[in-house]
Amino acid sequence: MKKRWMALLLIACLALSLCACKGKDVNEPETQSDPAAAVAADESTAADTSEAPSETAAPTTTETTTAPTTTAKPTTTAAPTTTTTKPTTTKAPTTTAKPTTTKAPTTTAKPTTTKPTTTKPTTTKAPTTKPTTTQAEKTVDLTALRDRIISSAGVQGAMPLPKERLTDLYGIAQGDIASAGCFITVNGSFPDEAIMIEAKNSAAKSRIVSALNTRLSDVLVQAQNYDPEDYALARQCKVITSGNYVALFVSPSHAAMESTFRSAVG
Amino acid sequence: MKNRILALALIACLLLSLNACKKNEEPAVTEESTEPTTLSAIVPESARADASYFDDVVFIGDSISEGLSNCEAAEDKMGGAQFLTSVSLSATNALWEVSSRSVHPRYRGEKMKVERAVALSGASKVYIMLGMNDIIAVGVDKAAANFEKLCDAILSNAPDVELFVESVTPLAGEGKTSGEHTLNNATITQYNALLETLCLNRGWHYLNVAEALRGTDGYLRTDLCSDPNGMGMHLTFAGCEAWIDYLYTHTLTDGGMEE
């Protein structure tokens, strides 16, 4: 009888020890979920708006060669996201801004410099070609002019900008550029940006003027959304031309730079 | 005699089972202690990469990154890196529709949404630093949520890109408050912590660029700040160089999460 009891005890003991060991495994996986908790809760909201941006991106993939104005279409899809309406607070600091000025730079291309050529030939004696050649073919070393502007305006940390970079930065074709003298800085929220280009011909010139006006309108919009002082400065900047020379000075010292440029180019 | 043998067997059996249980406990403890520290989204320091590493990189950012873009335009230090930067760009306003009033960056002369530009750029690595303009406008939590939405939009347009999230750089000054939201080093730190967690959860890479520019006092080093008496956030040329140097020495050679 005793033997049987002992055998039963032995079996019970084995069974208990097996149960105890099994119980240990159940607790282990707990540690994995800890770090995820904070952000996981927001994942449902992320799904809402991730749909919206993809909608506008979908329509065109071959549009790169087409005119920039074609982007007007995506705006018709309207902002389906609720988040787009709330962030309007970013606009608040710029209440003094007057957005209408973006038009101004496009018409500032001053044709007045061409006028003298028509007045001079009235002397009848002299051939009409003479005055025009002195005006249009006046060659200016734009890199030397760039260095002069940097030193005369006292620009800190100016970095010369190679003309090869004008294509990806401003969309200006290399074939349109006869020569260039440019520099940029990284100073503050309104870094200096001086672009002086001699266009190869009048058609190239108008394309360059257009590209720089686009850049200027971007600067205006960005400054308007950022800092009222920067915006006030940006509003004073303009694209200026003389013959085939085109320039844009985005800088707190733009007036001095423009003056130096005008006196050099004529 | 038989009883004694059985009793001994019983005791031995008990001892053995206790021992077995103890052995089972040990590996569980070591797993717990190592697991939380091994997984990290932070890109660790690495051997200096070649300039060609940046050939397939596109940078997305605000005025801080615009400074980097200007440096690169003048110095040409990072291979064929492309830039989609715009002053006052934020993850929040990047989600808006494109318009003449929006601050979306241009790609090849055309103003467009960031995610579309990324897809057109053909880049396979996306370095993104946004948040400074979000924190002051919508607060830390909403800023991080919008950042994730923008990243999702990028991934839905360019599913094969690898995302490298750059920490927002510190301020040199005390920051500012607009309405109910404050931008200072404390809120930037909170935001960066959310971004790091986001990267960990989503399998994105986190580049702690801020550590390269922060002084021992936690502020942006004044010698690297171009507007210490103004906004106190923009970098000097030396600051951009320190940033570029950090990027060169924090790269992934084999991809994936670092251990």
A15: CB partners within 8 A, 6+ apart: none
* Interface with B, mutate which of A50, A61, A82 (most B CBs under 10 A): A50
**B149 → closest Cβ in A46, A89, A189:** A46
Distance of alpha carbon A137 from alpha carbon A107, whole angstroms: 23
Tokens read off for B20: 């077995």
CB contact under 8 A, B194 and A53: no
Confidence band of A11 (pLDDT split at 50, 70, 90): confident
Instruction: Kindly report the three-state secondary structure assignment for every residue of chain B.
Output: CHHHHHHHHHHHHHHHHHHHHHHHHHHHHHHHHHHHHHCECECCCCCCCCHHHHCCEEEEECHHHHHHHHHHHHHCCCCCCEEEECCCCCCCHHHCCCCCCCCCCEECCEECCHHHHHHHHCCCEEEEECCHHHHHHHCHHHHHHHHHHHHHHHHHHCCCCEEEEECCCCCCCCCEEECCEEECHHHHHHHHHHHHHHHHHHCCEEECCHHHHECCCCCECHHHECCCCCCCCCECHHHHHHHHHHHHCCCCCCCCCEC
How many CB atoms are located within 10 Å of the residue A143 CB?
16
> Does residue A77 lie in a domain region?
no
How many CB atoms are located within 10 Å of the residue A1 CB?
5
What's residue A35's pLDDT?
Answer: 28
**B226 → closest Cβ in A32, A35, A187:** A187
Confidence band of A188 (pLDDT split at 50, 70, 90): confident
Q: Which of B85, B62, B57 is nearest to B248 (CA)?
A: B57
For A255, the domain range is 97-117+139-265
Q: What is the DSSP letter of A156?
A: T
| Stronger pLDDT, A129 or B205, i.e. the higher one | B205
Are B207 and B43 spatial neighbours (Cβ–Cβ below 8 Å)? yes
Q: Model pTM greater than 0.90?
A: no
Q: Give how far Cα B2 sits from Cα of A90, B7, B170, Å.
A: 90, 9, 80
Share of chain A above pLDDT 90, in %: 39
Q: What does the pLDDT look like over A18-65, one tens digit per residue?
A: 555 444 443 333 333 332 233 233 333 333 333 333 333 332 223 333
Distance of alpha carbon B76 from alpha carbon B90, whole angstroms: 26
> Looking at the 3D structure of chain A, how many domains does it have?
1
A223: CB partners within 8 A, 6+ apart: A190, A230, A231, A233, A234, B87, B88
Tokens read off for A109: 């291309």
> Does residue A126 lie in a domain region?
no
> Does residue A247 lie in a domain region?
yes
Task: Classify A63 as helix, strand or coil.
Answer: helix
Distance of alpha carbon A224 from alpha carbon B103, whole angstroms: 10
Q: What does the pLDDT look like over B119-171, one tens digit per residue?
A: 999 999 999 999 999 999 999 999 999 999 999 999 999 999 999 999 999 99
Q: Which CATH architecture has domain B48-248?
A: 3-Layer(aba) Sandwich (3.40)
> Does residue A143 lie in a domain region?
yes
Are A35 and B197 spatial neighbours (Cβ–Cβ below 8 Å)? yes
**B152 → closest Cβ in A50, A186, A214:** A50
Token pair 């606009």: residue: A91
Stated as kind and residue range, the H or E segment containing A19 is helix A2-26
Share of chain B above pLDDT 90, in %: 78
CA B180, chain centre distance (Å): 26
Tokens read off for A65: 């060669």
Closest-CA residue of A relative to B25 is: A24
Q: What does the pLDDT look like over B89-100, one tens digit per residue?
A: 999 999 999 999
CB contact under 8 A, A184 and B70: yes
What's residue B5's pLDDT?
Answer: 66
Closest-CA residue of B relative to A93 is: B178
* pLDDT mean over B243-256: 85
CB contact under 8 A, A187 and B227: yes
- Determine phi and psi for A218, rounding to 5 degrees: -65, -45
Q: Which of B152, B101, B109 is nearest to B128 (CA)?
A: B152
What's residue B157's pLDDT?
Answer: 98
pLDDT at A164 over 80: yes
* Strand-strand pairing, B205-207 and B162-166: parallel
Q: What angle do CA B134, B139, B140 make, to 5 degrees?
A: 90
What's residue B190's pLDDT?
Answer: 98
What's residue B81's pLDDT?
Answer: 96
> Does residue A4 lie in a domain region?
no
* pLDDT mean over A84-94: 34
> Does residue A43 lie in a domain region?
no
The nearest CA of chain B is from the CA of A114 a distance in Å of 30
Question: Which of A66-70, A141-145, A147-151, A182-186 has the lowest average pLDDT?
Answer: A66-70
What's residue B191's pLDDT?
Answer: 98
Question: Which of A129-133, A139-143, B208-212 has the lowest average pLDDT?
Answer: A129-133
The domain ranges of chain B are 1-34, 48-248
Q: Give how far Cα B230 sits from Cα of A190, B189, B235, Å.
A: 11, 21, 12
- Determine phi and psi for B72, rounding to 5 degrees: -65, -40
> Does residue A205 lie in a domain region?
yes
Highest mean pLDDT among A71-80, A155-164, B163-172: B163-172
Stated as kind and residue range, the H or E segment containing A232 is helix A228-236
Q: What does the pLDDT look like over B55-110, one tens digit per residue?
A: 999 999 999 999 999 999 998 999 999 999 999 999 999 999 999 999 999 998 88
- Determine phi and psi for B251, rounding to 5 degrees: -125, 165
* Interface with A, mutate which of B17, B97, B108 (most A CBs under 10 A): B97
The nearest CA of chain A is from the CA of B46 a distance in Å of 26
* Mean pLDDT, chain A, whole residue set: 65
Are B195 and B144 spatial neighbours (Cβ–Cβ below 8 Å)? yes
Confidence band of A99 (pLDDT split at 50, 70, 90): very low
What's residue B39's pLDDT?
Answer: 78
pLDDT at B209 over 90: yes
Are B223 and B236 spatial neighbours (Cβ–Cβ below 8 Å)? yes
Question: What's the start-to-end Cα distance of chain A, in Å?
Answer: 125
* pLDDT mean over B211-240: 95
Are A36 and B36 spatial neighbours (Cβ–Cβ below 8 Å)? no
> Does residue A34 lie in a domain region?
no
Q: How many CB pairs under 8 A join A and B?
A: 241
Distance of alpha carbon A191 from alpha carbon A37, whole angstroms: 42
Are B140 and B194 spatial neighbours (Cβ–Cβ below 8 Å)? yes
